[in-house]
Chain A
């Protein structure tokens, strides 16, 4: 599996650390009900197909990335910088 980092280019999977579903980007606001925290931390759609999840270019540019990929075929269809997305 190879991922194309928007900064570093096409790199081997071993350079990246997988964190989890994109859900981790949507932190509940302060004072949100417990069920929202449960959902944010634990519950997942866990789709067999196209998903968006968070990876860290640990051995490269040290950027957090949102990766769009297929969990059945391992095909990667998009990689974006979390930092640029927030702007």
Chain B
């Protein structure tokens, strides 16, 4: 077996504009957990070994570098750690399928407001929120990781398009900074 080198979609690129920083981050392993009918209890037992539980809709939970993100009905992504043994659920390794972008800065929310059809202001979207929605016309999972920070998961095949869209929006927000409307 040759030794293959894992490469990220955007080679760890980063960009700072108008006080907002966009950077590709390496999330570590991503495992989809989809409950079988009646699997709730046994799956919960498996996740407890990490101190985690299946998250409620539109939220994620973090414990010691392990993150579990709601991605749908009876379904979640375990991110950052290898999955423990879990009964009662289908586990699928999706690490290669996603690109993760971190967007941070006071105006990060204004950048995303140009692309995302959901209210992402802090009052409507507190830290710990996980949303499945769109970035422009691309499907995405958006995590509110801090008062001024987001992480955005997009399909790996669309990483450069997502970057392009967000970069454009950053330029526009920067150009408008200080402009009184």
Interface size on A, residues (CB 8 A): 15
Of the listed stretches A27-35, A45-53, A58-66, name the one at the interface; the rest are far from the partner chain. Answer: A58-66
Main secondary structure of the interface of B (DSSP, over half): strand
Q: Which of B23-72 contact A (CB under 8 A)?
A: 57-58, 71-72
The interface residues of chain B lying within 8 Å CB-to-CB of A81 are 73
Q: Contacts A15-B133, A59-B132, A59-B133 hold; do A7 and B117 have CB atoms under 8 A apart?
A: no
Kindly state the separation between the CA atoms of A83 and B71 in the bound complex, as whole angstroms: 16
Q: Which residues of B contact A (CB under 8 A)?
A: 57-58, 71-73, 117-118, 131-134, 139
Q: List 7 A-B contacts (CB under 8 A).
A: A8-B132, A12-B118, A15-B117, A59-B132, A59-B133, A60-B133, A83-B73
Q: Given the known inter-chain contacts A15-B117, A62-B72, A83-B73, please indicate yes or no for A8 contacting B58, CB distance below 8 A.
A: yes
Q: How far is the CA of A57 from the CA of B71 in the complex (A)?
A: 12
Q: Which residues of A contact B73 (CB under 8 A)?
A: 7, 61, 63, 81, 83
